[in-house]
Amino acid sequence: MAEHLLEVSNLKKYFPTKDGILYAVDDVSFAVDKGETLGLVGESGCGKSTTGRAILRLHEPTAGTVLFKGDDIVRYSKKQLKEIRKDMQIVFQDPYSSLNPRMDVRHLIEVSLEINGVHDANERLERVKEVMDVVGLEQRLLNSYPHELDGGRRQRVGIARALILNPSFIVMDEPVSALDVCIQAQILNLLMKLQEKRGYAYLFISHNLSVVKHISDRIAVMYLGKIVEMSTYDELFRNPLHPYTKALLASIPIPKLNRKRDKLILSGDVPSPINPPPGCRFRGRCPYAKQICGEAEPVLRKVGDTQVACHLYD
Protein backbone atom coordinates (compact mmCIF):
# COMPACT_ATOMS: atom_id res chain seq x y z
CA MET A 1 0.00 0.00 0.00
CA ALA A 2 1.32 3.46 -0.97
CA GLU A 3 2.47 5.71 1.83
CA HIS A 4 0.36 8.78 2.56
CA LEU A 5 1.89 12.15 1.75
CA LEU A 6 0.62 13.49 5.09
CA GLU A 7 -0.56 11.44 8.06
CA VAL A 8 -1.84 13.23 11.18
CA SER A 9 -2.31 11.07 14.29
CA ASN A 10 -3.85 12.09 17.64
CA LEU A 11 -3.01 15.76 17.06
CA LYS A 12 -3.76 18.03 20.03
CA LYS A 13 -3.36 21.74 20.52
CA TYR A 14 -4.29 23.25 23.89
CA PHE A 15 -3.99 26.91 24.87
CA PRO A 16 -3.65 27.96 28.52
CA THR A 17 -6.02 30.78 29.50
CA LYS A 18 -6.83 32.56 32.76
CA ASP A 19 -10.02 30.47 32.97
CA GLY A 20 -8.37 27.10 32.28
CA ILE A 21 -7.19 25.07 29.28
CA LEU A 22 -8.76 25.77 25.88
CA TYR A 23 -9.03 22.48 23.98
CA ALA A 24 -8.76 23.91 20.46
CA VAL A 25 -7.77 20.65 18.72
CA ASP A 26 -8.33 17.47 20.67
CA ASP A 27 -7.14 14.13 19.27
CA VAL A 28 -7.54 14.66 15.52
CA SER A 29 -6.37 12.04 13.00
CA PHE A 30 -6.52 11.90 9.19
CA ALA A 31 -4.35 11.35 6.11
CA VAL A 32 -3.92 13.13 2.79
CA ASP A 33 -2.49 11.56 -0.36
CA LYS A 34 -0.59 13.20 -3.22
CA GLY A 35 -2.95 15.06 -5.53
CA GLU A 36 -5.86 14.79 -3.09
CA THR A 37 -7.98 17.50 -1.48
CA LEU A 38 -9.30 16.88 2.02
CA GLY A 39 -11.97 19.38 2.99
CA LEU A 40 -12.20 20.32 6.67
CA VAL A 41 -15.52 21.92 7.63
CA GLY A 42 -17.37 23.04 10.74
CA GLU A 43 -18.71 26.08 12.56
CA SER A 44 -16.50 29.05 13.36
CA GLY A 45 -14.33 28.31 16.39
CA CYS A 46 -14.36 24.52 16.00
CA GLY A 47 -10.57 24.31 15.54
CA LYS A 48 -10.23 24.05 11.75
CA SER A 49 -7.65 26.79 11.26
CA THR A 50 -5.75 25.78 14.39
CA THR A 51 -5.49 22.24 12.98
CA GLY A 52 -3.95 23.54 9.75
CA ARG A 53 -1.49 25.77 11.58
CA ALA A 54 -0.51 23.04 14.03
CA ILE A 55 0.27 20.72 11.13
CA LEU A 56 2.71 23.33 9.77
CA ARG A 57 3.94 24.10 13.31
CA LEU A 58 2.85 27.72 13.08
CA HIS A 59 1.23 26.65 16.35
CA GLU A 60 3.38 24.12 18.20
CA PRO A 61 1.30 20.95 18.75
CA THR A 62 0.63 19.94 22.36
CA ALA A 63 0.74 16.24 21.43
CA GLY A 64 0.45 13.91 18.46
CA THR A 65 2.42 13.13 15.33
CA VAL A 66 2.48 14.73 11.88
CA LEU A 67 4.13 12.41 9.37
CA PHE A 68 5.10 14.18 6.15
CA LYS A 69 6.58 11.83 3.56
CA GLY A 70 7.13 9.36 6.40
CA ASP A 71 8.97 11.69 8.82
CA ASP A 72 7.47 13.10 12.02
CA ILE A 73 7.96 16.85 11.59
CA VAL A 74 6.78 17.53 15.16
CA ARG A 75 10.22 16.34 16.26
CA TYR A 76 12.11 18.46 13.73
CA SER A 77 14.63 21.09 14.79
CA LYS A 78 14.28 24.66 13.53
CA LYS A 79 16.89 23.96 10.83
CA GLN A 80 15.06 20.84 9.65
CA LEU A 81 11.76 22.69 9.77
CA LYS A 82 13.10 25.45 7.52
CA GLU A 83 14.02 22.85 4.90
CA ILE A 84 10.68 21.02 5.03
CA ARG A 85 8.65 24.23 4.81
CA LYS A 86 9.75 24.58 1.20
CA ASP A 87 7.45 21.62 0.60
CA MET A 88 4.58 22.67 2.93
CA GLN A 89 2.89 26.04 2.44
CA ILE A 90 -0.26 27.92 3.49
CA VAL A 91 -2.70 30.36 1.90
CA PHE A 92 -4.30 32.51 4.59
CA GLN A 93 -7.94 33.50 4.85
CA ASP A 94 -7.64 37.28 4.63
CA PRO A 95 -5.93 38.30 1.37
CA TYR A 96 -5.20 41.76 2.77
CA SER A 97 -3.92 41.37 6.33
CA SER A 98 -1.69 38.42 5.31
CA LEU A 99 0.29 40.61 2.89
CA ASN A 100 2.91 43.11 4.04
CA PRO A 101 1.54 46.53 2.94
CA ARG A 102 5.10 47.90 2.58
CA MET A 103 6.10 45.33 -0.05
CA ASP A 104 5.11 45.35 -3.71
CA VAL A 105 3.86 42.25 -5.53
CA ARG A 106 7.30 41.28 -6.78
CA HIS A 107 8.87 41.29 -3.33
CA LEU A 108 5.88 39.64 -1.67
CA ILE A 109 6.27 36.66 -3.99
CA GLU A 110 10.07 36.48 -4.25
CA VAL A 111 10.90 36.81 -0.53
CA SER A 112 10.61 33.02 -0.14
CA LEU A 113 13.23 32.54 -2.84
CA GLU A 114 15.59 34.94 -1.07
CA ILE A 115 15.17 33.17 2.25
CA ASN A 116 15.82 29.81 0.60
CA GLY A 117 19.07 30.70 -1.11
CA VAL A 118 18.15 31.95 -4.59
CA HIS A 119 20.57 34.89 -4.69
CA ASP A 120 20.45 35.78 -8.38
CA ALA A 121 17.99 38.69 -8.77
CA ASN A 122 17.32 37.96 -12.45
CA GLU A 123 16.50 34.32 -11.70
CA ARG A 124 14.14 35.38 -8.92
CA LEU A 125 12.39 37.85 -11.21
CA GLU A 126 11.91 35.24 -13.93
CA ARG A 127 10.44 32.77 -11.44
CA VAL A 128 8.12 35.45 -10.05
CA LYS A 129 6.88 36.28 -13.57
CA GLU A 130 6.38 32.60 -14.29
CA VAL A 131 4.26 31.97 -11.19
CA MET A 132 2.28 35.18 -11.82
CA ASP A 133 1.37 33.81 -15.24
CA VAL A 134 0.34 30.52 -13.62
CA VAL A 135 -2.09 32.19 -11.18
CA GLY A 136 -3.41 34.71 -13.68
CA LEU A 137 -1.74 37.90 -12.44
CA GLU A 138 -0.76 40.49 -15.06
CA GLN A 139 2.97 41.27 -15.03
CA ARG A 140 2.15 45.00 -15.06
CA LEU A 141 1.23 44.51 -11.38
CA LEU A 142 4.81 43.65 -10.36
CA ASN A 143 5.32 47.05 -8.71
CA SER A 144 1.83 47.37 -7.26
CA TYR A 145 1.13 47.32 -3.51
CA PRO A 146 -1.64 45.32 -1.78
CA HIS A 147 -3.88 48.35 -1.24
CA GLU A 148 -3.87 48.95 -5.00
CA LEU A 149 -5.32 45.50 -5.76
CA ASP A 150 -8.84 44.11 -5.45
CA GLY A 151 -9.58 41.06 -3.27
CA GLY A 152 -9.26 38.53 -6.07
CA ARG A 153 -5.84 39.78 -7.15
CA ARG A 154 -4.63 39.95 -3.54
CA GLN A 155 -5.62 36.33 -3.03
CA ARG A 156 -3.83 35.36 -6.24
CA VAL A 157 -0.70 37.01 -4.81
CA GLY A 158 -1.13 34.85 -1.69
CA ILE A 159 -1.48 31.74 -3.84
CA ALA A 160 1.55 32.71 -5.97
CA ARG A 161 3.58 33.21 -2.79
CA ALA A 162 2.63 29.70 -1.66
CA LEU A 163 3.45 28.15 -5.06
CA ILE A 164 6.79 29.86 -5.75
CA LEU A 165 8.79 27.04 -4.10
CA ASN A 166 6.67 24.32 -5.79
CA PRO A 167 5.45 22.57 -2.59
CA SER A 168 3.76 19.18 -2.37
CA PHE A 169 1.22 20.11 0.32
CA ILE A 170 -0.71 23.37 0.85
CA VAL A 171 -3.06 24.34 3.67
CA MET A 172 -5.86 26.45 2.20
CA ASP A 173 -7.28 28.32 5.19
CA GLU A 174 -10.66 29.60 3.95
CA PRO A 175 -8.99 31.09 0.85
CA VAL A 176 -12.22 32.31 -0.77
CA SER A 177 -14.41 33.31 2.20
CA ALA A 178 -13.47 37.01 1.90
CA LEU A 179 -14.25 37.14 -1.83
CA ASP A 180 -17.47 37.66 -3.76
CA VAL A 181 -19.10 34.66 -5.46
CA CYS A 182 -17.78 35.35 -8.96
CA ILE A 183 -14.18 35.69 -7.74
CA GLN A 184 -14.64 32.61 -5.51
CA ALA A 185 -15.41 30.52 -8.59
CA GLN A 186 -12.33 31.84 -10.40
CA ILE A 187 -10.02 31.03 -7.48
CA LEU A 188 -11.52 27.56 -6.93
CA ASN A 189 -11.18 26.66 -10.61
CA LEU A 190 -7.59 27.95 -10.56
CA LEU A 191 -6.73 25.76 -7.55
CA MET A 192 -8.26 22.69 -9.20
CA LYS A 193 -6.37 23.29 -12.47
CA LEU A 194 -3.09 23.73 -10.61
CA GLN A 195 -3.70 20.54 -8.66
CA GLU A 196 -4.44 18.59 -11.83
CA LYS A 197 -1.33 19.95 -13.53
CA ARG A 198 1.18 19.77 -10.66
CA GLY A 199 -0.23 17.16 -8.28
CA TYR A 200 -0.55 19.40 -5.21
CA ALA A 201 -2.26 18.02 -2.10
CA TYR A 202 -4.60 20.42 -0.29
CA LEU A 203 -6.08 20.62 3.16
CA PHE A 204 -9.00 22.90 2.28
CA ILE A 205 -10.47 24.57 5.38
CA SER A 206 -13.88 26.22 5.11
CA HIS A 207 -17.24 26.68 6.81
CA ASN A 208 -18.98 26.68 3.41
CA LEU A 209 -20.08 23.15 2.53
CA SER A 210 -21.01 24.08 -1.04
CA VAL A 211 -17.47 25.35 -1.69
CA VAL A 212 -15.92 22.28 -0.05
CA LYS A 213 -18.09 19.94 -2.13
CA HIS A 214 -16.89 21.65 -5.30
CA ILE A 215 -13.19 21.12 -4.66
CA SER A 216 -12.77 18.16 -2.25
CA ASP A 217 -12.21 14.45 -2.77
CA ARG A 218 -13.00 13.68 0.87
CA ILE A 219 -14.55 15.79 3.63
CA ALA A 220 -13.93 15.74 7.39
CA VAL A 221 -16.53 17.41 9.62
CA MET A 222 -15.20 19.00 12.81
CA TYR A 223 -17.08 19.95 15.98
CA LEU A 224 -15.52 21.52 19.07
CA GLY A 225 -11.99 20.30 18.37
CA LYS A 226 -12.88 16.79 17.18
CA ILE A 227 -13.62 15.15 13.85
CA VAL A 228 -17.12 13.65 14.02
CA GLU A 229 -17.47 12.34 10.46
CA MET A 230 -15.22 11.71 7.46
CA SER A 231 -16.20 10.41 4.04
CA THR A 232 -16.00 11.01 0.30
CA TYR A 233 -17.84 14.17 -0.76
CA ASP A 234 -20.54 12.29 -2.69
CA GLU A 235 -21.23 9.83 0.15
CA LEU A 236 -21.31 12.62 2.73
CA PHE A 237 -23.86 14.64 0.79
CA ARG A 238 -25.91 11.61 -0.23
CA ASN A 239 -25.99 9.83 3.13
CA PRO A 240 -24.76 11.91 6.11
CA LEU A 241 -24.63 9.90 9.34
CA HIS A 242 -23.74 12.21 12.20
CA PRO A 243 -26.58 14.48 13.43
CA TYR A 244 -24.25 17.50 13.25
CA THR A 245 -23.43 16.76 9.60
CA LYS A 246 -27.15 16.43 8.85
CA ALA A 247 -27.78 19.82 10.46
CA LEU A 248 -24.98 21.44 8.44
CA LEU A 249 -26.34 20.04 5.18
CA ALA A 250 -29.88 21.08 6.09
CA SER A 251 -28.68 24.67 6.47
CA ILE A 252 -27.60 24.93 2.81
CA PRO A 253 -30.16 26.95 0.82
CA ILE A 254 -31.71 25.16 -2.18
CA PRO A 255 -32.38 27.51 -5.12
CA LYS A 256 -35.51 25.60 -6.22
CA LEU A 257 -39.15 26.29 -5.43
CA ASN A 258 -41.39 23.66 -3.85
CA ARG A 259 -38.50 21.30 -3.13
CA LYS A 260 -38.86 19.69 0.27
CA ARG A 261 -36.24 18.00 2.42
CA ASP A 262 -35.82 16.93 6.01
CA LYS A 263 -34.73 19.75 8.28
CA LEU A 264 -32.70 19.35 11.45
CA ILE A 265 -32.67 22.62 13.36
CA LEU A 266 -30.21 22.69 16.25
CA SER A 267 -31.09 24.21 19.60
CA GLY A 268 -28.73 25.57 22.24
CA ASP A 269 -25.24 26.98 21.91
CA VAL A 270 -21.85 25.44 21.21
CA PRO A 271 -20.28 24.45 24.57
CA SER A 272 -17.17 26.25 25.75
CA PRO A 273 -13.92 24.67 24.48
CA ILE A 274 -12.43 25.60 27.88
CA ASN A 275 -14.89 23.34 29.67
CA PRO A 276 -16.21 20.77 27.16
CA PRO A 277 -18.95 18.45 28.45
CA PRO A 278 -18.18 14.82 29.27
CA GLY A 279 -19.10 12.15 26.76
CA CYS A 280 -20.21 13.37 23.35
CA ARG A 281 -19.55 17.10 22.95
CA PHE A 282 -22.56 17.45 20.66
CA ARG A 283 -25.12 15.81 22.95
CA GLY A 284 -26.49 19.08 24.37
CA ARG A 285 -27.69 20.08 20.89
CA CYS A 286 -28.50 16.61 19.53
CA PRO A 287 -32.17 15.54 19.19
CA TYR A 288 -31.14 11.86 19.34
CA ALA A 289 -29.01 12.01 22.51
CA LYS A 290 -29.15 8.93 24.78
CA GLN A 291 -27.87 8.27 28.28
CA ILE A 292 -24.62 6.78 27.01
CA CYS A 293 -23.87 10.03 25.14
CA GLY A 294 -23.20 11.75 28.47
CA GLU A 295 -21.16 8.86 29.86
CA ALA A 296 -18.75 7.79 27.11
CA GLU A 297 -17.00 9.73 24.38
CA PRO A 298 -17.74 8.26 20.94
CA VAL A 299 -14.78 7.30 18.76
CA LEU A 300 -14.47 7.36 14.99
CA ARG A 301 -15.53 4.00 13.61
CA LYS A 302 -16.16 2.62 10.16
CA VAL A 303 -19.82 2.49 9.12
CA GLY A 304 -20.01 1.44 5.49
CA ASP A 305 -17.74 3.80 3.55
CA THR A 306 -17.90 6.48 6.24
CA GLN A 307 -16.06 7.08 9.51
CA VAL A 308 -18.38 8.50 12.17
CA ALA A 309 -18.09 9.23 15.91
CA CYS A 310 -21.64 8.70 17.19
CA HIS A 311 -23.26 6.27 19.66
CA LEU A 312 -26.20 5.85 17.28
CA TYR A 313 -23.99 3.46 15.30
CA ASP A 314 -22.49 1.46 18.15
> Could you read off the pLDDT of 119-162 as tens digits, one per residue?
899 999 999 999 999 888 999 999 999 999 988 899 899 999 99
In a domain, 16, yes or no: yes
Say which CATH number the domain at 34 has: 3.40.50.300
174: left (phi over 0), alpha (psi -120 to 50) or beta: left
Q: Which amino acid is at 114?
A: E
In a domain, 232, yes or no: yes
What pTM, to 2 d.p., does this model score?
0.91
% of the chain beyond a pLDDT of 70: 95
Q: Name the strands in the sheet holding 20-32, side by side, starting at the edge strand that comes first in the sequence.
A: 20-32, 6-17, 63-68, 71-72
Largest CA distance in the chain: 68
pLDDT (tens digit per residue) in 168-223: 999 999 888 877 888 888 889 989 999 999 999 999 999 888 889 889 999 999 99
Provide the domain limits for residue 192.
Answer: 6-87+167-239
In a domain, 116, yes or no: no
Q: What is d(CA 179, CA 161) in angstroms, rounded to the nearest whole number?
A: 18
Domain total in the chain: 1
CB 169 within 8 A of CB 68: yes
In a domain, 136, yes or no: no
